[in-house]
Structure 1
Amino acid sequence: MQKIVTNIWCNGNAEEVGAYYADLFPNARTWVESRYPLEGLLEFQQPLAGEPLTVGVEIGEARLTLINADDTFSPNPSVSLMLNFDPLDFDGDAVAARAQLDTIWEVFAEDGSVLMPLQEYPFSARYGWVQDRYGVSWQFMLTDPAGESRPFVVPALMFGGPAQNRATAAVDRYLEVFEDAELGQRVLYGEATGPAEATSVMFSDFRIGEQWFTAMDSGREQDFSFTCGMSFEAHCEDQAEIDRLWDALSTVPAAEQCGWLVDPFGMNWQIVPKNMGELMERPNAFQHLMPMKKIIIADI
């Protein structure tokens, strides 16, 4: 099971979003993971009684979860999904890799918004950043096959706004907190660039288990930062691991609810048991979960 799953907050349309991604990406699928109960819901949840609560999406080996809720939150570019189109995955055919990149880009760009145009940059022969019709941001990269291999989908953190210039501290914290974690690259700006200091991170990546992530400090002023619109769900082996991660990461008591927390850098996490789906099949599990802050497995 994937240790950390990227969660996307949806405005009552999680099934539609899942179908959109499953139809667009090769080797992708979607399914309803769980549904809201018919009673015991909060006021904002009542229109969703019996509707999907979470919808799963797999793109290759990457797992995403779509949270079906309301319009309280929405994704923004502080968390994006980087797509690595590696010619080695196309039997070394760079033309085929570029063709698939361009095909998917065109769909996203047609009814989304382009944040960085698709073109050649010093760091990539073909790169672009786009926000799709649902507000989810994607970075497209034609990967240099001579470099180190990375997964097709890599969650990417951009530290801007109140989190500006905190990428190094955040990544170092995650490497300390999570087991089997390792720093990959860390490239600094070298000179002040917009709000980024000379010692700020222009690009870095790190691994937790088998999963890779990227992190950078924004080189432009941003009026947004991390929200519940894009969050990370950490699957824990047992109550002891839930307790350990909760104590290490949670710093905003007012944000604690149903396993959700906000870490020292503003990133939102859900710290949950790995068999959460099975636990939610227990009688009245939803009603037991709603008042909780940190999840207590025995009380579900």
Structure 2
Amino acid sequence: MNKLSPFLWFDDNAEEAAEFYLSIFPHARKVGELRSKGVGPWPVGKIATITIELEGQEMVFMNGGPAHPLTPAISFFIRCDTQEEIDDYWDKLMAGGGKPMACSWLTDRFGLCWQIVPRNIEELINHPKAMEAMMGMIKLDLHALEAAARD
């Protein structure tokens, strides 16, 4: 287990969210789960928490109820090597009701926010014209960013 892991509060769909993310990332696995034994707010047998690992990052999801919904204040940053990889993650995470935001951000159907960016995003947007180009994009266009960085 990682010493430091995100612990995310889901309404009542932590297991569904975990399965969704496990289906998207090529290096993903379920690490474990904690099912209720009738103590606490969960009925007997209900998953209280589920731990998964995506691309080496362990995270814990809890069925916490509606009191604390996910917000864009927390997001996961996916570094991609090609436009095809950007497109693939974008399409998969948008499936089933995701909502696009600006500058590579999206909120998936569970309310979790993601940023899908080129691996060298910091280098690219260090160029003012590339930063300006990115600010006008929803899903990032790697080729347009590279061209703007060359200008």
Query: Which band: TM-score by shorter chain?
Result: 0.7 to 0.9
In the alignment, structure 1 residue 263 sits paired with structure 2 residue 108: yes
Gaps of 5+ in 2: 146-151
Provide the secondary structure at the position in 1 that maps to 2:6. Answer: strand
Match of 1:236 in 2: 80
- In the alignment, which of 7, 11, 25 is matched to residue 178 of structure 1? 25
Q: Which has the larger radius of gyration?
A: 1
RMSD, matched Cα: 1.9
Provide the secondary structure at the position in 2 that maps to 1:154. Answer: coil
- In the alignment, which of 58, 70, 84 is matched to residue 212 of structure 1? 58
Letter in 2 for 1:182: R
Contact between 1:165 and 1:200, CA under 8 Å: does it hold in 2?
no
In the alignment, structure 1 residue 279 sits paired with structure 2 residue 124: yes
Superposed CA deviations along residues 257-292 of structure 1, whole A, max 9, x for unmatched, are 110001110101111111111111335111101111
Match of 2:49 in 1: 203
Match of 2:16 in 1: 169
In the alignment, structure 1 residue 153 sits paired with structure 2 residue 1: no
Letter in 2 for 1:155: P
How far has the Cα of 1:172 moved from its partner?
Answer: 0.5
Q: CA distance change for structure 1 residues 252 and 172 in 2, over 3 Å: closer, same or farther?
A: closer
How far has the Cα of 1:199 moved from its partner?
Answer: 4.7
Distance between the aligned counterparts of 1:259 and 1:191, measured in 2?
42
Distance between the aligned counterparts of 2:141 and 2:71, measured in 1?
24
Q: Which runs of 4+ in 1 moved over 6 A?
A: none
- In the alignment, which of 105, 125, 137 is matched to residue 292 of structure 1? 137
Structure of higher RCO (CA pairs closer than 8 Å, 6+ residues apart): 2
Residue correspondences, number:
143
How far has the Cα of 1:299 moved from its partner?
Answer: 1.2
TM-score norm. by structure 2 comes to 0.85
Contact between 2:80 and 2:117, CA under 8 Å: does it hold in 1?
yes
Between Structure 1 and Structure 2, the one with more strand by share is 1
Q: CA distance change for structure 1 residues 197 and 279 in 2, over 3 Å: closer, same or farther?
A: farther
How far has the Cα of 1:153 moved from its partner?
Answer: 1.1
Q: CA distance change for structure 1 residues 177 and 222 in 2, over 3 Å: closer, same or farther?
A: same
Match of 2:148 in 1: none
Contact between 1:236 and 1:271, CA under 8 Å: does it hold in 2?
yes
Q: CA distance change for structure 1 residues 192 and 291 in 2, over 3 Å: closer, same or farther?
A: farther
